[in-house]
Amino acid sequence: MKREKIGLVSLGCPKNLVDSEEMLGRLAGAGYEFTSKEEEADLILINTCGFIESAKEESIDTILSYCERRAHGGLKGLLVTGCLAERYAGELQSEIPEVDRFLPLREEKKIVEVVDRILSVKNPLPEEAAQTAHPQKRTILTPFYTAYLKISEGCSNRCAYCAIPLIRGPQKSRKNQDLVSEAEDLCERGVREIILIGQDIAGFGSDRREPGNLIPLIRGLSQIGGLEWIRLMYVHPDHLTHDLITLMAEEPKIVPYLDLPIQHINDAVLKSMNRKSGSSAIREQIKKLRKAVQGLVLRTTLMVGFPGETEDAFRELCGFVSETRFDHLGAFAYSQEEGTQAAELPDQIADEIKTERLNTILNLQAGISKQKNRGRVGTVQKVLVEGTSPETDLLLSGRYYGQAPEIDGSVLINKGDAVVGEFFNVKITDAHEYDLIGEIV
């Protein structure tokens, strides 16, 4: 039986994107068709983010825009899920009745049953079959050569500012064999790069009393034929071990790239954030990483404007950024989230000061990034070609090992021909703040 078409809006982080892929996989298994053309969709599925205030606002604005479209007769169904729906489902349902259902995260396995009801499908799948329809056959939304592998759900770190444990619960690690099997399936479909994600991938297995279980998982993944790059994202510094550093140095499939979100460097701020690693421990970790892993590209995430962050603490952070010279750096202003420890702290920072500090950090890093990129001019890099540049059809675009998708810039290729999804040697001829320029050799 031919079923209606489903459109998707997936907001937020890559972990949310994987949830979207899994829901679309279940719907495809039940006979629904995914369409990237919203005007063709009978039902729009919105997977929301609710991590910080700006993400909530984006989610609400997106929901309201589709409610308006629906009011003009363009949609049969509107379904909202994700972190915002998990946290505020009851409140949102009463305030935005134009949405058919706000589906909490814990009920996402019921996606087929829920869509059937919204669209009044005749002869729907039985509930048990609907919940188990193709749970591993994700509908991959990333380019065919790159995929995320979400190895755990939730988080048990309890950082004072973070609402994720309230939304997604404590850490729940998946089984190693299930992950390896999923990765094998992805590689059979053409994936060349797998990116490990979770709220804290270095803590993988600790909820099963198997700390350090990330090591055997990576070793299992490294045996998969066709897989060229394994990339590690969201490595909490509290759980970065000597064994993981050694594995990064020794396993050729692990790209020498690490996302190490330290959040701050001032000891008083870190303590107030409920982060266990202090300034000296963080500095020592970075020193060990750079000594052990040849050609390491290091990314971090920082938070400015945390309650009680003094001018001296912020200056210390700026000095640390200048001294450490991260290759890539993301930063955001503290957001006061209800239910978190930090929301009740005194000495909340004014929004204008938070914005000023955020811009200062980002401008400081922009200069560092440009200098680091200039240091690669004249080198030859192995580049995964992704297609024509979004800026112009006259250029090809790709990434070398030091660039994660979406967040770290690209290698723009102005000379030579290449095949999308394949690796080519590219000589770097010029550099900008975030992008490199090169030619195929």
Nearest to 79 by CA among 50, 48, 56, 101: 101
Average pLDDT value over all residues in the chain: 93
pLDDT of residue 136: 47
Q: How confident is the model at residue 139 (pLDDT cuts 50, 70, 90)?
A: very high
pLDDT tens for each residue of 15-38:
999 999 999 999 999 999 999 998
pLDDT at 19: 95
Shared domain check, 388 and 333: no
Domain identity same for 288 and 394:
no
For residue range 271-311, list pLDDT tens digits in order: 999 999 999 999 999 999 999 999 999 999 999 999 999 99
In a domain, 127, yes or no: no
What pLDDT shows up at residue 133? 45
pLDDT band at 319 (very low <50, low <70, confident <90, very high): very high
Q: Tell whether 70 and 115 lie within a shared domain.
A: yes
Same domain, yes or no, for 94 and 177? no
Residue 405 pLDDT greater than 60, yes or no: yes
**Is 126 within the bounds of a domain?**
no
42 found inside a domain = yes
Residue 56 sits in the same domain as residue 172: no
Note whether 74 and 170 are same-domain residues: no
- Say if residue 413 is in the same domain as residue 272: no
The pLDDT of residue 128 is above 60: no
Residues 308 and 353 reside in one and the same domain: yes
Neighbouring C-beta atoms of residue 325, cutoff 10 Å = 13
Q: How far apart are the first and last CA of the chain?
A: 52
pLDDT at 187: 96
List the one residue out of 353, 350, 266 whose CA is nearest residue 312.
266
Domain end residue (candidates: 353, 375, 397): 375
137 occurs within a structural domain: no
The whole-number pLDDT of residue 134 equals 42
DSSP alpha helix (H) spans, 96-126 = 111-118
Each residue's pLDDT tens digit, 241-271: 999 999 999 999 999 999 999 999 999 999 9
Percent of the chain with pLDDT over 90: 86
Rg (CA), the chain: 22
Please indicate, yes or no, whether residues 365 and 387 belong to a single structural domain of this protein: no
Residues 102 and 183 in one domain: no
Instruction: Please report which confidence band the pLDDT of residue 156 belongs to, taking 50, 70 and 90 as the band edges.
Output: very high
Last residue of a domain, one of 325, 351, 375: 375
The domain spanning residue 49 has which CATH number? 3.40.50.12160
Domain carrying residue 390: 379-440
> Which residues, 6+ apart, have CB-to-CB distance to 108 below 8 Å?
19, 22, 23, 81
Is residue 306 in some structural domain? yes
As a whole-number percent, the residues of the chain with pLDDT over 70 amount to: 95
Residue 126: the pLDDT is 54
Mean per-residue pLDDT, 395-408: 96
pLDDT digits 0-9 by tens, 90-121: 899 999 999 999 999 889 999 999 999 999 87
pLDDT value, residue 219: 97
Q: Which of 170, 199, 161, 169 is nearest to 337 (CA)?
A: 161
- Band of residue 123 on the pLDDT scale cut at 50, 70, 90: low
What pLDDT was estimated at residue 150?
Answer: 97
Is the domain of 341 the same as that of 417?
A: no
Confirm whether 141 is domain-assigned: no
Whether 171 is in a domain gets the answer: yes
284 and 329 in a single domain? The answer is: yes
Instruction: Summarize pLDDT for 190-215 with one digit per residue, the tens.
Output: 999 999 999 999 999 999 887 769 99
CATH at residue 268 = 3.80.30.20
Q: How many domains does the chain have?
A: 3
Residue 122: per-residue pLDDT: 57
Q: What distance lies between CA 86 and its chain's CA centroid?
A: 19
Instruction: Return the pLDDT at 230.
Output: 98
Nearest alpha-carbon partner for 32 in 81, 70, 76, 97: 76
Residue 132 in any domain: the answer is no
Give the domain CATH number at 431: 2.40.50.140
Query: pLDDT value at position 341?
Result: 95
